[in-house]
Chains A and B, each alone.
Chain A
Amino acid sequence: MIFSILEHILTHISFSVVSIVLTIYFLTLLVNLDEIIGFFDSSDKGIVITFFGITGLLFTRWIYSGHFPLSNLYESLIFLSWAFSIIHMVSYFNKKQKNHLNAITAPSAIFIQGFATSGLLNKMPQSAILVPALQSQWLMMHVSMMILGYGALLCGSLLSIALLVITFRKVGSTFLKKNMKKKILLNELFSFDVLYYINERNSILLQQNINFSFSRNYYRYQLIEQLDYWSFRIISLGFIFLTVGILSGAVWANETWGSYWNWDPKETWAFITWTIFAIYLHIKTNRNVRGINSAIVASIGFLLIWICYFGVNLLGIGLHSYGSFTSN
C-alpha cells in the first residue's frame, strides 16, 4: 500500500517538474530571458529532479514487484522517459554551451510519460507477475539496452527532422513567391554552398574572418550544422545501444529456446531499424554527399522506431507478446 502511494507521488512529481521545465523553455522562445540566468539553472535542476523522480519510481516498482521493472508496455514507457531525462542530463555534464538537444528531450520525456500514465493502457500500471520465460538475468540487459537505444535514436532522428524542416522551410516559402525571385533563391542556395565549402576547409579562420554579412543565412547555416553534428553523435551512440540490445536478445533467445533468430515480427523490425541507421552512418562517411540525404534517412528511421516499438505490439503475436496492448 505504501509502495503504490509512493509510486503515485513520484509519478506526479516527475510529470509536473517536466511540465515546468518545458514551460520555461517555451518562455525563453517568446521572451529574451538571457539576463535572467537563474532560469536556465533552474531548468537544469528541474531535469535533475525529474530524473530522480523517475528513478525513484522505477526503484519502487522494482522492490514492490520483485522483478526488474521492464516487463510490460507501461514499464518500458516509463523507462523510455527515464532514458530521455538521462540524455538531457548528459549533455549538461559534457558541455558548457547551450545545447539544442534539450529542446527535444524534455518534451519527449513529458509526452512519453503522459501517454504512459494517461489511462489508455488501463490495466498496465499495476505490477504484473513475470512468466517463466522472462525470469532471466538477460531481461535486464536486453530490454534496457533496447530502450536506451530507442531513446537515443529517437532524439537523433528528431534532430534530423528539425534539420529538414529548417532547410526546406525557407526554400518552400520562397518557391511560393514569383519566379522573378528565382535568381535570388539560387543566390541564397549557392551562398549556402559557399559557406558550406569554406566551413569544411577551415573552420577556425572562418569564424574569425567572416563579418556577419551573410547574417541570416549564416545563423541558419550554423544551426543546421550544429543539428547535423549532434544528430550524428547521438545516433552513433544510439546505434551502439541498439546493436548491443539486439545481440543480447539473440543470445538470450538461444539460451531459452535454442535458436538465436526466429524472424519474430519485433526482431525483424528491430533489424530493419538497425539497417536504416547503418545506412545513415554509411551515408555520413561519404563527405561528398550533402547532409540532407542523411537527414532524410534518419527521419525515416523515426517512423521505423515507432513501428518497431508500438506497431508490432498491436499485433500481439510472436515471442514478444508480453508487450502487447491486449495482454493482461
Chain B
Amino acid sequence: MSPSLNPLRTKFPSPLKSPSLYNLCNSRNLHIRLHLQIRCNQGSTQQKPNPKKKIVLFGAAPSVLEQKDRQVNSGDGGTTSSSTPSMWRFVKRVPKRALTLLANLPLAIAEMGAIAAFMALATIVEQGESLEFYTSKYSEENPVLGFFTWKWIVYPGFDHMFTSPIFLGLLVLLGASLMACTYTTQLPLVKVSRRWSFLQSSETIRKQEFSDSLPCASVQDLGAILMGHGYEVFLKGPSLYAFKGLASRFAPIGVHLAMILIMAGSTLSAAGSFKGSITVPQGLNFVVGDVLAPIGFLSNPLDSFNTEVHVNRFFMDYYETGEVSQFYSDISLLNFEGKEVMRKTIRVNDPLRYGGITIYQTDWGISALQISKNGEGPFNLAVAPLQRSGDFKLFGTFLPTGESDSSGKVKGISMLARDLQSIVLYDEEGKFAGVRRPSSKLPIEINGTKIVIEDAIGSTGLDLKADPGVPIVYTGFGALMLTTTISLLSHSQVWAIQDGSTVVVGAKRNRGKIEFSKEMNVLLNKVPELVSTNDAIDS
C-alpha cells in the first residue's frame, strides 16, 4: 500500500472537500490515501498489551534484561491482581499518581517559566534593603504600575527573593519533577533501548519516518552495508535490526541526573558550609576557627579549624601605568602544636587549600605607615581607608606636629596613599608637599620637620570557606557539560524485513532528520540488485 490521499474516501475533516482543494486534487490526478487509526488509552493501566515477542539469536547470549523483564512483568501483574487488599493497593497507587502528576511535561515547563519570571523580578527589585527603603520607594501614594506597593514586595518575601519560601519552594518542586520524570520516563527508556526489538511485519516497518522498499535485494547485503557504515546489525532470519550511536539515547537521562546532582550538592552547600572573612595586617596571625561562621544547620566543624594562619608578607605588583596588577600574600599554616604544615603565596585566582578549608585572596588594604620623625622612631601610624569604590582605594593618616590652634584642631602632616607604592604628603595648611616611595628612604622636609618613610605595611583581605558540597557540585557540572554535548549526537535505528524478493526498510533517527533521509538514500543505493530471484531466498 502506498500512502495516497483520496479526497473522497478519507476520514480527514471536511475542509478537504472544499472546492478549491478538491478541484486541484482532481484536476491533476492526485491520489493520496490516508489511513488513520485513533486509539484510546483510557483505563489501560490495568492491562498491558502483549509485549513484543523477543527473539533470541542463535549463538548469541540472551539479552541481559530478559530475566529481569519477566520478573517485572509478573510483578506488574501481581499488583493488579485482586488478591492484594484494596487499601494497600490504594496506598500504593497514590505515590504512583503523584509521580505521574509530577512528571508531567507542561507542569515542568510552567515551573521553569515561573522560576525564570521570579528571577527576573529579583533583578528589577533591589534585594536585601531595609524596610524603610521599600516603603519609601514603592510607597502607597503612587504605586508602580498602579498597584505595586511595598506590601507586594515585602510580604511574599521578594526583598530576599533567593532565600524566600516561594522561590525555594518552586526550586524544590522543580527538583521533584526532575526526579519523577527521570524515574518514570527516562529509566524505562533504558530498558527499551537495550532490547533488540525486531519488527515483525512490513506494515509496521512502513510506518516509520523513513521507509523504502528495495526490489530484488537481500537482507544480508543490507546488513553488510550497514555494518560498513558503522551500525550494529542484528539479523535473525528474514528480519534485521540495526542501530548506531546509542550514547545519545541515554544522554537526556544523564542531563537530568546531572541536574539532580547539582541541586543536591548546592543544597548541601547551603546547609552545611562555613564562611568568614578577615583583614590581617602583615605579620599577624589568626586562628581559622575564630573566623569561620556556620551558614546552615548541617555545618560540622572540621579538625583543620584549629590551624593558625600567619601572614608572612603581603606585596603587590603594579603595571607601568601605576595601577595594581596583582596582590599576593605569603601565608604559613601552623597546626595545633605550632609546627608549620603548609606555606604558600596566594593571589587572587589562586587560593590555598588545606584540610577542607580554602583561603582566598580577595582584598587588600594598608594598615600602618612606619615613619621616623626628625631621626626618632620608627613610629607606626595607623592608616584608615578614606574612600572605597570598587577597585579604587584611598588611605590616609595624620601625623600631628604641634600645638592645637584656637579652634581646638590639631595641626599636622597628612599622608595619603593609593597603594603601597608611593605616599603623598601634605603640610599643615593642606598644601601638597611631596611624594615619597617607602623603599627609597629619602627624607622630606616639611616646615622644619624631617620625615623619612620607612615602610608601608599592608593588610591582606582573606576569605575563608569550608564547603562540603563542592565536590558533588563539581561532579554535577562536569556530568552536565558532558551529557549535553553527547545529546547532540544522533541515534539512528534501521529495521528491515525480507518480503519475498523485496526488502522493506524502515528507519528512524532522533536528530538531523533531513540529512538522515539523504544518507539513507545513499546507503540504500549501495545495496546490490540481485539479478536472479534464486539468490534472494537464501537465509
Which residues of chain A have a CB within 8 Å of any CB of chain B? Answer: 129-133, 135-136, 138, 183-184, 186-187, 190-191, 194, 197-198, 200-205, 209-211, 213-214, 229, 233, 236-237, 239-240, 243-244, 247, 250-252, 254-261, 263, 265, 268-269, 271-272, 275-276, 278-279, 282-283, 286, 312, 321
Residue from B30, B162, B347 within 8 A of A213 (CB atoms): B30
**Residue B32, interface by CB 8 Å:** yes
Sampled A-B contacts (8; CB under 8 Å):
A138-B349, A213-B28, A250-B477, A255-B351, A256-B360, A258-B467, A272-B116, A321-B390
**Residue B232, interface by CB 8 Å:** no
CA distance A184 to B470 in the complex (A): 62
A258-B275 contact in complex given A184-B20, A268-B123, A278-B112, C-beta closer than 8 Å: yes
Q: Do A190 and B16 have beta carbons less than 8 Å apart?
A: yes
Q: Do B5 and A198 have beta carbons less than 8 Å apart?
A: yes
Which of chain B's residues has its CB closest to A186's CB? B15
Q: Do A239 and B112 have beta carbons less than 8 Å apart?
A: no
**Residue B512, interface by CB 8 Å:** yes
Chain B facing A: main interface SS: mixed
Beyond contacts A202-B210, A276-B116: 12 other A-B pairs, Cβ-Cβ < 8 A, are A131-B324, A132-B349, A135-B326, A135-B349, A191-B21, A202-B3, A203-B210, A236-B488, A247-B477, A251-B474, A256-B349, A258-B463
A310: min CB distance to chain B, Å: 14
**Residue B358, interface by CB 8 Å:** yes
Q: Do B108 and A282 have beta carbons less than 8 Å apart?
A: yes
Which of chain A's residues has its CB closest to B316's CB? A132
Residue from A187, A194, A261 within 8 A of B266 (CB atoms): A261
Residue from B2, B12, B108, B321 within 8 A of A194 (CB atoms): B12
Q: Do A271 and B119 have beta carbons less than 8 Å apart?
A: yes
Q: Do B488 and A237 have beta carbons less than 8 Å apart?
A: yes
Residue-by-residue, is B292-331 near A (CB-CB < 8 Å gives 1, otherwise 0)?
0000000000000000000000000001010111110000
**Residue B484, interface by CB 8 Å:** yes
CA distance A210 to B4 in the complex (A): 10
Query: Which of chain A's residues have a CB closer than 8 A to the CB of B32?
Result: 198, 209
Which residues of chain B have a CB within 8 Å of any CB of chain A? Answer: 2-5, 12-13, 15-16, 18, 20-21, 24-25, 28, 30, 32, 34, 105, 108-109, 112-113, 115-116, 119-120, 122-123, 127, 162, 207, 209-212, 266, 275, 319, 321, 323-327, 347-351, 358, 360, 362, 390-391, 463-465, 467, 470, 473-474, 477, 480-481, 484-485, 488, 511-514, 517, 521
CA distance A202 to B213 in the complex (A): 13
A187-B513 contact in complex given A129-B325, A278-B112, C-beta closer than 8 Å: no
Query: Which of chain B's residues have a CB closer than 8 A to the CB of A258?
Result: 275, 351, 358, 360, 463-465, 467
Q: Do B3 and A204 have beta carbons less than 8 Å apart?
A: no
Query: Which of chain A's residues have a CB closer than 8 A to the CB of B485?
Result: 240, 244
CA distance A29 to B454 in the complex (A): 76
B268: min CB distance to chain A, Å: 13
CA distance A138 to B431 in the complex (A): 46
Query: Which of chain A's residues have a CB closer than 8 A to the CB of B488?
Result: 236-237, 240
Which of chain B's residues has its CB closest to A318's CB? B123
Query: Which of chain A's residues have a CB closer than 8 A to the CB of B162?
Result: 263
Which of chain B's residues has its CB closest to A307's CB? B120
Q: Do B116 and A244 have beta carbons less than 8 Å apart?
A: no
Residue from B3, B463, B512 within 8 A of A233 (CB atoms): B512
A320: min CB distance to chain B, Å: 12
B263: min CB distance to chain A, Å: 12
A202-B211 contact in complex given A136-B349, A213-B28, C-beta closer than 8 Å: yes
Which of chain A's residues has its CB closest to B14's CB? A190
Q: Do B480 and A243 have beta carbons less than 8 Å apart?
A: yes
CA distance A259 to B473 in the complex (A): 11
Query: Which of chain A's residues have a CB closer than 8 A to the CB of B266?
Result: 261
Q: Do A204 and B517 have beta carbons less than 8 Å apart?
A: yes
A316: min CB distance to chain B, Å: 10
